Structure 1
Amino acid sequence: MKITPILALGMCCILMCTAKAAKSRTYMDTISNKQKVLSFYKQIVGQRKAELIPEFIVEDYKQHNPAVKQGRAGITEMISYLKTLPPPPEGAKSPIVRAIQEGDFVVTHLDIQFMGKRMAVIDLFKLKNGKLTEHWDAIQALPDESGKAVTATNGTTDIDNTAPAENSKRIVSLFYDAAINKTSALQFISTGYVEHDLSIIESGKTLVDHIAERKEVKLCKVIGEGDFVVVQSQFNKSEKAFVLYEIFRVANDKIAEHWSVEQAVPDGIKAEDMF
């Protein structure tokens, strides 16, 4: 979790949200939760407008990242740190690759590059009455993938909202049950399936094999929008607890694409506190 300052710097490059200035109360009260999160990235993190924090964050904001303070104080501290750094360059590419919403939950998938280091990040926010109330995340260092057709974060980004989210979640849940119980899980994998997890690609094994090898798997949240499904889970590997976020794309009742961000629970931290 020591890379949190680097994450903060990478996030300051975010410029993608189309939301207008937060001074328009009526607009901010009517936009979707996803738009609110993207506006938070742009205005609070990217433009460093600390004065707008009360517009976006509740006073008792719950932070599940053990490296960040609870409440608004944690966000305020991050913005104070960002203000000591050079502003993001004009026209910088947004690191936000995907944004998925179901009800009060919004998930963002980011690809951050800074000083030769590249990281995949998944942020999960919970909102209530248009304000951010809780935050979870996982951060994973990525290797150089220059020249590769398939990388840890590329692939499909547009959500097919004509696909029923409940059905997409059902397919992913059935797949997980089959994989964990070591039954016929491969029936849920599309023939054109694309894997974005480098460790799975290089192992020569299937996603089914990797799930079956995990110990004490606990599914915490399953969030879906259209054909995209996000699974937040906890598992053990080599006597170490891990936080795992996976994104699945479902097509024709089959899993067609898969991304993941995995992070070991820091020493001295209870795994439950990160969920």
Structure 2
Amino acid sequence: MSQTLSNRELVAKAHYELFTLRDTSALEKYFAADFIEHSPLVADGLSGLRELVQSCPDLKHEARRVLQDGDLVAIHGRFVGLDEQPLVGFDLYRVRDGKIVEHWDGLVPEAAPNASGRTQLDGPVEPGNGDKEKNRELVWRFFTETLIKGDYTGFERYANGENFHQHSPDIADGVKAVIAFLEQLRKDGHGLEYSRIHRSVAEGEFVLTHSEGTIAGERHAYFELWRVENGKVAELWDAIAPVPEDDQALHKHGIF
């Protein structure tokens, strides 16, 4: 059955059946036998997912956005029943020959709306008809200059001025707010250092970057969803989480 589905349909169906219906038969239907799990929350392989679902009787997921780009499918949404409080963020799947073969995630605790009244999940849902490759190229150039090289004036060159919409709980709208926030973190010794982008998912106006770096010397995984409008970075959602020091012991494949 899964062979007749698009990658988007396959992943959305598998994710819903497994994490909302808690139907572990989805593992045999939609996942490859040699499935690789990168999440620090789950043991590797199908057995790890089965154990997670069976140990979380109240588990549910609310999908807000689903993006497809070749063999990668990203889901942006909200989990309940996975931890003491709801978790929001991103699940990233790789599909091969009609089966899910790999998964990464970035999840953070749900927070109150930010100073501009935006939540971690609200805002546009549909990717629209933007040129995904042009938007991907713009985001990679912006990301490299601004975040990897640490030149925060890149927000002034690439983003949508004071109409830049921010969904991070700690930052208000506008480029001035995000620059001030990042510069203060750097001054306090907790600056966000970025080393590289591992992969991206682009569809329409949306470009999701999955990258890594450090905060105050501690390794972190960054999931950041950028929306591009009329050649400018117009909106950002993110989930930034520390990488456990023992992730290699927990997952032989590593978190990335």
Q: Same fold (TM over 0.5)?
A: yes
Q: Which residue of 2 aligns with 1:6?
A: none
**TM-score between both structures, scaled by the size of structure 1:** 0.78
Gaps of at least 5 residues in structure 2 are: none
Letter in 1 for 2:192: R
Q: Which residue of 1 aligns with 2:213?
A: 235
Structure 1 residues 118 and 144: CA distance shift in structure 2, 3 A = farther
Please tell me the root mean square deviation across aligned C-alpha atoms, in Å.
2.9
Task: Tell me how far 1:74 sits from its aligned partner.
Answer: 1.4
Cα distance in 2 for residues equivalent to 1:147 and 1:258: 15
Cα distance in 2 for residues equivalent to 1:35 and 1:144: 31
Task: Tell me how far 1:208 sits from its aligned partner.
Answer: 8.9
Structure 1 residues 113 and 60: CA distance shift in structure 2, 3 A = closer
**TM-score between both structures, scaled by the size of structure 2:** 0.83
1:127 maps to which of 91, 95, 102: 95
Alignment deviations for residues 97-145 of structure 1 (CA, whole Å, 9 cap, x no partner): 1111101101111123459723212111001011110010111113233
Conserved 8 A contact 1:104-1:127: yes
Letter in 1 for 2:74: V
Cα distance in 2 for residues equivalent to 1:216 and 1:183: 12
Number of equivalent positions = 241
Structure 1 residues 35 and 208: CA distance shift in structure 2, 3 A = farther
Alignment of 1:83-232 (within 5 A): 85=57, 95-113=62-80, 117-145=85-113, 149-160=117-128, 162-179=129-146, 180-181=148-149, 182=151, 185=154, 186-191=156-161, 192-201=163-172, 205-206=177-178, 210=182, 213-232=191-210
2:50 maps to which of 63, 76, 85: 76
2:6 maps to which of 11, 32, 37: 32
Alignment deviations for residues 84-103 of structure 1 (CA, whole Å, 9 cap, x no partner): x2687xxxxx6111111101
Task: Tell me how far 1:222 sits from its aligned partner.
Answer: 1.7
Conserved 8 A contact 1:200-1:210: no
SS of structure 2 residue aligned to 1:198: coil
Gaps of at least 5 residues in structure 1 are: 1-24, 89-93
SS of structure 2 residue aligned to 1:65: coil
Question: Percent of pairs identical after alignment?
Answer: 21
Conserved 8 A contact 1:231-1:246: yes
Task: Tell me how far 1:37 sits from its aligned partner.
Answer: 0.9
SS of structure 1 residue aligned to 2:87: strand
